[in-house]
């Protein structure tokens, strides 16, 4: 199949398009407390999105890589870690709404989980890395969807999600298990 046969630039139709992203949750057991923890990035105060809020590692998928390669790259870039294995846990379609020209590009997020090879991380300009106890995530200022997303990603199965914007700008989350 030719690149031109993908149908992404059909001038007769305005199709919904999505930007691919990856989101990764690494876990480890705290050697002092024995508690299971997840590595989250507290966004730098200067970040345009999610400043001072905790999120997983991740970012955009580049044109020259598959989603798994993007997940490995983002973990290396943001934490200096090289996990032996990441498992795809979910795919989330994020509708970002419409304007006068029609639907805005959405986000297609591929969610991965894995075990951290070590608890030692390398600082990143993206923000501060923290190991947070899984049983206490409600105590931290997470990006809104993480309160529901982290437990799903770490449960072991595969899930699908769809986020839809409400009239007030907040998002409504819908989930489906595989």
Structure tokens at 100: 């006068």
Residue with tokens 């998002």: 171
102-113 tens-digit pLDDT: 778 899 999 999
112-158 tens-digit pLDDT: 999 999 999 998 888 899 999 999 999 999 999 999 999 999 998 99
Which CATH code is given to the segment(s) 25-91+112-158?
3.90.79.10
State the average pLDDT for the chain.
91
Is it the case that residue 67 has pLDDT exceeding 80? yes
What are the extents of the domains in the chain? 25-91+112-158
pLDDT of residue 10: 59
Alpha helix stretches (DSSP H) within the chain: 67-79, 146-154
Tell me the C-alpha distance between 82 and 73, whole Å.
9
Given CA atoms 66, 68, 72, 75 in this order, what sign does their dihedral have? positive
pLDDT of residue 4: 57
Tell me the C-alpha distance between 15 and 33, whole Å.
51
pLDDT of residue 6: 60
pLDDT of residue 49: 81
Residue 41: strand, helix, or coil: strand
Give the single-character DSSP code of 68: H
């Amino acid at each position: 199949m030719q690149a031109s046969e993908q149908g992404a630039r059909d001038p007769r139709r305005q199709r919904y398009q999505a930007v691919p992203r990856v989101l990764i949750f690494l876990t480890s057991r705290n050697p002092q407390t024995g508690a299971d923890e997840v590595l989250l990035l507290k966004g730098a105060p200067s970040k345009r999105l999610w400043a001072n809020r905790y999120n997983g590692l991740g970012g955009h998928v580049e044109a020259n890589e598959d989603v798994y390669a993007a997940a490995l790259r983002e973990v290396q870039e943001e934490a200096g870690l090289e996990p032996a294995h990441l498992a795809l846990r979910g795919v989330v379609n994020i509708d970002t709404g419409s304007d006068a020209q029609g639907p805005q590009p959405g986000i297609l997020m591929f969610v991965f989980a894995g075990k951290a090879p070590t608890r030692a991380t390398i600082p990143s300009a993206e923000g501060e890395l923290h190991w947070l106890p899984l049983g206490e995530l409600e105590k931290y200022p997470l990006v809104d969807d993480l309160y529901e997303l982290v437990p799903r990603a770490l449960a072991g199965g595969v899930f699908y999600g769809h986020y839809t914007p409400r009239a007030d700008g907040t998002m409504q989350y819908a989930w489906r298990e595989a």
